């Protein structure tokens, strides 16, 4: 079973179920058959800039970050609860709004596309 947790920094208008479904469908369609946990966070501009500063050394608001579990935990050990954590996808909600206007799409569609993109990155598939 693939478990997906969704955290929203604010009351962002997007379906957690659609996000979870997109992550699961992307992983399964790319051969993931083991039990894994993936976290997805929707954050505001300030928090995204803080993360960019901490991990990339810039002040740019990135639309998405993906972190494999062992990238953010330098002393990676097997989790005591035996849950295999694949990683985390972090999305800028304000950037998704900007992108939705450019592409004439719903914000939720853009977020789900970003979630799919991030899921592929967690699997080592890059553009």
Q: Are strands 85-92 and 64-68 parallel, antiparallel or unpaired?
A: antiparallel
Closest CA to 50 of 41, 59, 42: 59
Q: Copy the structure tokens of residue 29.
A: 């369609």
In the three-class reduction of DSSP (H, G, I as helix; E, B as strand; rest coil), residue 90 is classed as strand
pTM beyond cutoff 0.85: yes
pLDDT-based confidence at residue 76 (cuts at 50, 70, 90): very low
Angstrom distance (rounded) from CA 38 to CA 20: 9
User: Under CATH, which number does the domain 2-122 receive?
Assistant: 3.40.390.30
Taking only the tens place, the pLDDT of each residue in 41-67 is 999 999 999 999 999 899 889 999 999
Q: Where are the domains of the chain?
A: 2-122
Q: Flag the least confident range among 9-13, 53-57, 96-100.
A: 9-13
Ramachandran quadrant class, 69 (left: phi over 0; alpha: psi -120 to 50; beta: rest): alpha
H helices of the chain, in order, are: 16-29, 45-56, 69-72, 93-103, 107-122
With cut-offs at 50, 70 and 90, classify the pLDDT of residue 75. Answer: very low
Edge-first strand order for the sheet with 64-68 is 2-8, 36-43, 85-92, 64-68
């Amino acid at each position: 079973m693939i478990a997906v947790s969704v955290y929203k920094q604010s009351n962002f208008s997007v379906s957690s179920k659609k996000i979870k479904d997109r992550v699961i469908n992307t992983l399964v369609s790319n051969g993931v058959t083991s039990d894994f946990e993936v976290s997805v966070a929707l954050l505001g501009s300030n928090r995204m800039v803080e993360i960019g500063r901490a991990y990339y050394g810039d002040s740019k608001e990135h639309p998405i970050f993906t972190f494999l579990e062992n990238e953010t935990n330098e002393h990676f050990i097997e989790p005591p609860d035996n849950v295999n954590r694949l990683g985390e996808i972090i999305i800028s909600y304000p950037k998704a709004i900007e992108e939705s206007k450019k592409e004439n799409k719903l914000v939720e569609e853009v977020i789900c596309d970003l979630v799919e993109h991030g899921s592929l990155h967690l699997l080592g598939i890059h553009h």
